[in-house]
Structure 1
Amino acid sequence: MKLYKITITGNDTDFAIRYTSSTNFVTYNDCQFTGTEQEKYSQFLAELQKNAGEQTINIKVKMTNKTIDRAFTKSVILGIKDVGEFIQRLGA
């Protein structure tokens, strides 16, 4: 089982997402996803489906228009297939 943390920077239309994971609750390593933000998000969803338990996913948003910490459950994140919708849901 892996734990995941997501850090988002930029703004609502031009953003970057950093995905990290840990198997020991202490050391988080970069997930090394490649491609567009949508492609990286899709890769994250596939890995999340295979490797994560039902714990929440920690999300740090440090964008130019908002700074918040959120946590979503695995099932909520898996229900959001579009990265743009995911970004919008973080501000809701």
Structure 2
Amino acid sequence: MTTPTPELLTVNDIRKLSGLGRNLSHDLARLMPHLKVGRAGLGERLLVRRDDFDRLLLRASQERRDLLELVRDFTPDDLQAWMNAGQGVN
């Protein structure tokens, strides 16, 4: 029996699900809407909604965008607008 995927993903969850490296996973988590859990410097964790991560991967694959390019070129607001544009949301 398989374990269900959580609704909120940590950076390590993103790495395991996608095969991305630690730095890229962390940078993507910082760009997407996220929650910070814990105290800064003492194991602070970023949590990203699974739906947001899946939507990011889908949109990037549809447009054949490199994830490193997204991290380099987008601000959090730009990324959110780009992801929403793929759904027809203003």
TM-score normalised by structure 2 residue count: 0.29
More strand by share: 1
More helix by share: 2
